Amino acid sequence: MGEEGILLLITIEGIDGSGKSTLVSALRESLKDLDPVFTREPGSTWVGDVVRRAIAERVDPVTEALLFVADHAAHLEAVVRPALDGERMVISDRYTDSRYAYQGVMLEERIPDPLGWLRALHNGWTVVPDRTFLLFIPVDEAIKRLPGDKRREHFEDGPFLEKVQGNYLSLAEAEPARFVLVDALLPADEIHRFVERGIRELARQPRSRRRR
């Protein structure tokens, strides 16, 4: 493969209620010319159904973390690698940073170094994104934006999301070249234009200059 072209893995991250879904549907429309593969975690393969059941039944955090990692492995093999191998751009709504941020909190009481444990689980086989857009929003505002039924899910209580967002920010601070912080309080169309511009700029860069 040459040094030019679109081979790119882009991820969109943020706490529940940060506006990811709105952004992703707008990108779906506006990036059609680049022909990206839109995908998501959890749930892009049947393994995701198991993960959703585990969330609903509130299994213990270690089981839950391992299921999310299994979902990631299946997602990589079924969707991400084939798309990248076919020279397609991939845009994933949530990816490994969701595990680092969410399971990092869920595992706090169970494992001495949750982030280290989670990183070790992914090392050697995962694909690191080229760029990650992190939607940042005050937690009370995010909760206000959630539909009623979502607000009741166990992932979505305030103190928990504060910690998740804290983890996201630490991840972004540790890898400033990969993360782009997006102010999720901006109007949806401004967020969309900003992220779309970022993706197009990245797609124009020679591959050798991108982070891999």
Residues that bind ligand TYD (CB under 6 A): 16, 20, 41-42, 68, 94, 98-99, 102-103, 150, 155
Residue nearest to ligand TYD (CB): 102
In the complex, the smallest distance separating the C-beta of residue 103 from ligand TYD, rounded to whole angstroms, is 6
Number of residues assigned to the chain: 212
In the complex, the smallest distance separating the C-beta of residue 66 from ligand TYD, rounded to whole angstroms, is 11
Can you state the angle between helices 188-204 and 20-30, rounded to 10 degrees? 50
Q: Give the residue from 55, 73, 68, 11 showing the smallest Cα distance to 37.
A: 11
In the complex, the smallest distance separating the C-beta of residue 87 from ligand TYD, rounded to whole angstroms, is 25
Tokens, residue 37: 């593969």
Q: Which one, 5 or 116, has the nearer CB to ligand TYD? A: 116
Q: Give the residue from 41, 45, 211 showing the smallest Cα distance to 128.
A: 211
Q: Which one, 168 or 192, has the nearer CB to ligand TYD? A: 168
In the complex, the smallest distance separating the C-beta of residue 42 from ligand TYD, rounded to whole angstroms, is 5
| Residue 11 near residue 92, CB atoms below 8 Å | yes
Q: Which one, 69 or 83, has the nearer CB to ligand TYD? A: 69
| Residue 145 neighbours by CB distance under 10 Å | 15
Q: Which one, 86 or 147, has the nearer CB to ligand TYD? A: 147
In the complex, the smallest distance separating the C-beta of residue 98 from ligand TYD, rounded to whole angstroms, is 4
Q: Which one, 161 or 203, has the nearer CB to ligand TYD? A: 161
Q: Which one, 102 or 179, has the nearer CB to ligand TYD? A: 102
| Residue 145 near residue 97, CB atoms below 8 Å | no
In the complex, the smallest distance separating the C-beta of residue 146 from ligand TYD, rounded to whole angstroms, is 8
What is the C-alpha to C-alpha distance for residues 16 and 98, in angstroms, rounded to an integer?
11
| Residue 68 neighbours by CB distance under 10 Å | 25
Residue 4 phi/psi, 5-degree rounding, is: -95, 170
Measured CA distances, 121 to 67, 75, 116, 163 (Å): 12, 15, 9, 21
